[in-house]
C-alpha cells in the first residue's frame, strides 16, 4: 500500500495516468508485456514501500514475444523510413503529455531526484526528435568504380530484432536511445528492463502501445519481457536476435559479449565507468566545485558517468579539497520527490552494503576519509537506502580506487608534475567512459583532447564527467565495452551495410583488370 509520504507527491495519480493499475493491490500489467510467470515485487528505495508487482516472463513467454517480433519485422522493415519516423514523432508527443507522471515514477521507483527524473524523460523526448530527423537521412555513400560503365554505392538495410537489456539507474532513457534509432531503422525491439525498476518498463510499453494501436501497427514492434538474468540469457543466445544492446556492469557485459559472439551476433555494450576530473593549477575553482560535486553525488553516485576520482595538482590541492568538503556540508539528503533535496537513496540495501565495504577498504588500503559518510536512519530514512556522500584521500593504485563502486564515494588523488602525469593517472584504470579537465590553459586542454590524452569515449573541458547531450555518440572504451548509442552516426549500429555495384554497359569487365574471356 502506498504511504502518505509518497502519495502527497501525487504518485497515485501519476501511476494511474501511466496505466500502472491496481497499485494498492500490488498487481500491475501492461500491453505488449509477454509475462505470465511468478510475481516480481518492486519496492521503492525512497520509503521502502511496495509499489507493485509484475509477472516475470517464462521461456514460453519469451518465445511468444520472439514470434510476435519476427512477424512484425517482416512488414515493419517495408514501411518507408519517414513513415517510421512519424511513429517515433507521435511517441515523443505522448512522452511530452506524460512527462510529469513518468518522471515521478522514475524518481520514486529508482530513487533519483525529481528533477533528474524529469530530465530523463526529456532525454527520451530529445532522442525522438533526433530520430525523426534521421528517418530522412539514412544515407550511404557513392563512390567511383575502377570499371567503366559501372556505378558503386553503399546503402543501409534494417537489421531485424534488437534485444535491449537496460540497467536500473536510467530505467527509461537508455531504452529510448536504442528503440528510437532501431525503429527508424526498421528494426523491432524486445526489452528486458532491470528487475529493480520493472514498473518503469510497464509504463513505457503502455505509452508506445497507444501509438501502435492508433496507427494500426503490430504489437510485436515493441515487446517487453520481465525477469532476472535468466530471461536475458535466452535473448543473448538466440540467433534470431542479430543485435543485443546491453547496459550494466562490466561483469555482465563480458557474459553478454561472449554469448553473442559465440553465435557471431553483434553486441552494443555500455558498461562500467571510473571517471575522473583533472584539476590543473589554471582551473576555475568555482566551476570545478560545481562540476565535481554534481558529478559525484548526482543520482547518489549511481550514474555510469559519475565522478569517482578527482586528480588535483599539489599546488592547489588544499584549496580544492577544502572547497569540495565545504560544498558537501551543504548537501541535503532525503526524499528525492522533494525538490529541496540534493541526494536521494541508493537503489537497495545491497548497494548500501557495497558502499560500506568501499569505505572500509579504502581505509584498510591506507586512505583517509575526510568526509566519512555513513548510513542514515530514522524518520524519512526508513528504507535503509540513504547514505551520506563520502570523500577519501587515496592513491590511484588502490584496488578499491580501480574498482567502480556504484555509490557517492569520491577519491581525491594528488599529482605534482605537468598535465601529462595527470592524464597518465586518469588513464590508469580498466574503464574508459567519461573524463574531464578543468583548466584555462589552452595547451593543457588540447593535450587532454589529443591522441596522447584521455583514452575515454567522452572527454570534456571545463565541464564535469556526468551528463551527455543527445546529439553526440555516447559510450566508452576498454572495459566500458566500446559501444556507442544515441547521437552522431550511432544509427548505423542498428542497420546492416550493403555495397552495390551496377553495370550499365553491354560488356562484363572484371575488377583489377583480370581477363576471363570465353
pLDDT in tens, 324-351: 999 999 999 999 999 999 999 999 999 9
| Residue that is written with C-alpha cell 550511432 in the block | 490
Residue 117, SS3 per DSSP: helix
pLDDT at 509: 85
Q: What are phi and psi of 140, to 5 degrees?
A: -110, -160
Q: How do 390-393 and 387-388 pair as beta strands?
A: unpaired
Query: How far is it, in rounded angstroms, from Cα 32 to Cα 309?
Result: 42
Q: How many residues does the chain have?
A: 518
Query: How far is it, in rounded angstroms, from Cα 30 to Cα 11?
Result: 18
Residue 395: CB atoms within 10 A of its CB come to 14
Query: How far is it, in rounded angstroms, from Cα 89 to Cα 103?
Result: 19
Annotated active-site residue 304? The verdict is yes
Query: Per the structure block, which three cell numbers stand in for 169?
Result: 539507474
Dmax over CA atoms of the chain, in Å, equals 90
Catalytic residue among 304, 404, 479, 485: 304
Residue among 150, 234, 137, 158 nearest 192 (CA): 234
124-169: per-residue pLDDT in tens? 999 999 999 999 999 999 999 999 999 999 999 999 999 999 999 9
The pLDDT of residue 405 is above 50: yes
Mean pLDDT of 21-45: 66
Mean pLDDT of 456-479: 95
Least confident of 20-29, 51-60, 113-122, 446-455: 20-29
DSSP 8-class letter at 58: P
Which residue did the predictor score with more confidence, 266 or 21? Answer: 266
Query: How far is it, in rounded angstroms, from Cα 272 to Cα 486?
Result: 17
Q: What are the residues whose beta carbons fall under 8 Å from the beta carbon of 262, sequence distance 6 or more?
A: none
| Residue 245 host element (H or E) | strand 243-247
pLDDT at 3: 56
pLDDT at 28: 38
Residue among 414, 410, 436 nearest 425 (CA): 414
Q: What is the mean pLDDT of the chain?
A: 94
pLDDT at 27: 36
DSSP 8-class letter at 282: T
Residue among 139, 177, 170 nearest 486 (CA): 177
Query: Per the structure block, which three cell numbers stand in for 19?
Result: 496505466
Name the band, by pLDDT with cuts 50, 70 and 90, for residue 2.
low
Question: Vertex 345, ends 342 and 346: CA angle to 5°?
Answer: 125
346-359: per-residue pLDDT in tens? 999 999 999 999 99
Catalytic residue among 123, 195, 219, 270: 270
pLDDT at 226: 94
Q: What are the residues whose beta carbons fall under 8 Å from the beta carbon of 450, sequence distance 6 or more?
A: none
Q: Contact, 476 vs 431, CB < 8 A?
A: yes
Q: Contact, 309 vs 276, CB < 8 A?
A: yes
Residue 44: CB atoms within 10 A of its CB come to 25
The pLDDT of residue 33 is above 80: no
Q: What are the residues whose beta carbons fall under 8 Å from the beta carbon of 83, sequence distance 6 or more?
A: none
Q: Contact, 82 vs 136, CB < 8 A?
A: yes
pLDDT at 31: 44
Residue among 458, 496, 498, 500 nearest 185 (CA): 496
Q: Is 322 exposed, middle or buried (0-12, 13-18, 19+ CB in 10 A)?
A: exposed
Q: Is 399 exposed, middle or buried (0-12, 13-18, 19+ CB in 10 A)?
A: exposed
The pLDDT of residue 442 is above 50: yes
229-240: per-residue pLDDT in tens? 999 999 999 999
Annotated active-site residue 270? The verdict is yes
Query: Per the structure block, which three cell numbers stand in for 142?
Result: 557513392
Query: How far is it, in rounded angstroms, from Cα 52 to Cα 110?
Result: 13
Q: Contact, 436 vs 288, CB < 8 A?
A: no
Amino acid at each position: 500500500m502506498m504511504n502518505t509520504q509518497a502519495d502527497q507527491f501525487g504518485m497515485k495519480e501519476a501511476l494511474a495516468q501511466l496505466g500502472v493499475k491496481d497499485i494498492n493491490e500490488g498487481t500491475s500489467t501492461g500491453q505488449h508485456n509477454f509475462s505470465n510467470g511468478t510475481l516480481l515485487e518492486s519496492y521503492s528505495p525512497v520509503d521502502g514501500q511496495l509499489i507493485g508487482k509484475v509477472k516475470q516472463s517464462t521461456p514460453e513467454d519469451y518465445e511468444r514475444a520472439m514470434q510476435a517480433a519476427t512477424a512484425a519485422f517482416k512488414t515493419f522493415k517495408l514501411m518507408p523510413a519517414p513513415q517510421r519516423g512519424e511513429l517515433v514523432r507521435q511517441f515523443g508527443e505522448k512522452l511530452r503529455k506524460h512527462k510529469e507522471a513518468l518522471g515521478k515514477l522514475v524518481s520514486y521507483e529508482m530513487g533519483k531526484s525529481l528533477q533528474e527524473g524529469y530530465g530523463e524523460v526529456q532525454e527520451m523526448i530529445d532522442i525522438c526528435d533526433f530520430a525523426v530527423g534521421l528517418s530522412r537521412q539514412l544515407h550511404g555513400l557513392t563512390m567511383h568504380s575502377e570499371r567503366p560503365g559501372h556505378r558503386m554505392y553503399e546503402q543501409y538495410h534494417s537489421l531485424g530484432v534488437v534485444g535491449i537489456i537496460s540497467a536500473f539507474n536510467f530505467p527509461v532513457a537508455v531504452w529510448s536511445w536504442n528503440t528510437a534509432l532501431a525503429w527508424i531503422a526498421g528494426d523491432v525491439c524486445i526489452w528486458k528492463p532491470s528487475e529493480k525498476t520493472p514498473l518503469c518498463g510497464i509504463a513505457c510499453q503502455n505509452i508506445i502501445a497507444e501509438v501502435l494501436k492508433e496507427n494500426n501497427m503490430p504489437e510485436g514492434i515493441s515487446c517487453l519481457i520481465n525477469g532476472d538474468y535468466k530471461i536475458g540469457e535466452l535473448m543473448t543466445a538466440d540467433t534470431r536476435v542479430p543485435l543485443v544492446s546491453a547496459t550494466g556492469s562490466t561483469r555482465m557485459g563480458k557474459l553478454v559479449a561472449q554469448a553473442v559472439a559465440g553465435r557471431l551476433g553483434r553486441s552494443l555494450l555500455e558498461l562500467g565507468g571510473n571517471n575522473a576530473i583533472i584539476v590543473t593549477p589554471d582551473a576555475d575553482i568555482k566551476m570545478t566545485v560545481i562540476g565535481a560535486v554534481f558529478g559525484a553525488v548526482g543520482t547518489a553516485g549511481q550514474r555510469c558517468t559519475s565522478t569517482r576520482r578527482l586528480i588535483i595538482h599539489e599546488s592547489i590541492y588544499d584549496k580544492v579539497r577544502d572547497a569540495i568538503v565545504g560544498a558537501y556540508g551543504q548537501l541535503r539528503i532525503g526524499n528525492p520527490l522533494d525538490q529541496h533535496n540534493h541526494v536521494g537513496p541508493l537503489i537497495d540495501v545491497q548497494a548500501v552494503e557495497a558502499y560500506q565495504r568501499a569505505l572500509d577498504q579504502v581505509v584498510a588500503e591506507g586512505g583517509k576519509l575526510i568526509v566519512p559518510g555513513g548510513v542514515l536512519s530514522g524518520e524519512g530514512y526508513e528504507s535503509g537506502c540513504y547514505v551520506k556522500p563520502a570523500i577519501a584521500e587515496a592513491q590511484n593504485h588502490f584496488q578499491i580506487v580501480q574498482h567502480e563502486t556504484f555509490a557517492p564515494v569520491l577519491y581525491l588523488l594528488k599529482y605534482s608534475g605537468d598535465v601529462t602525469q595527470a592524464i597518465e593517472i586518469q588513464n590508469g584504470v580498466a574503464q574508459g567512459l567519461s573524463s574531464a579537465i578543468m583548466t584555462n590553459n589552452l595547451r593543457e586542454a588540447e593535450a587532454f583532447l589529443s591522441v596522447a590524452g584521455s583514452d575515454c569515449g567522452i572527454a570534456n573541458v571545463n565541464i564535469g564527467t556526468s551528463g551527455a547531450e543527445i546529439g553526440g555518440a555516447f559510450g566508452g572504451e576498454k572495459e566500458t565495452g566500446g559501444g556507442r548509442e544515441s547521437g552522431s552516426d550511432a544509427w548505423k549500429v542498428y542497420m546492416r551495410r550493403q555495397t552495390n555495384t551496377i553495370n550499365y554497359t553491354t560488356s562484363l569487365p572484371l575488377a583489377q583488370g583480370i581477363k576471363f574471356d570465353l
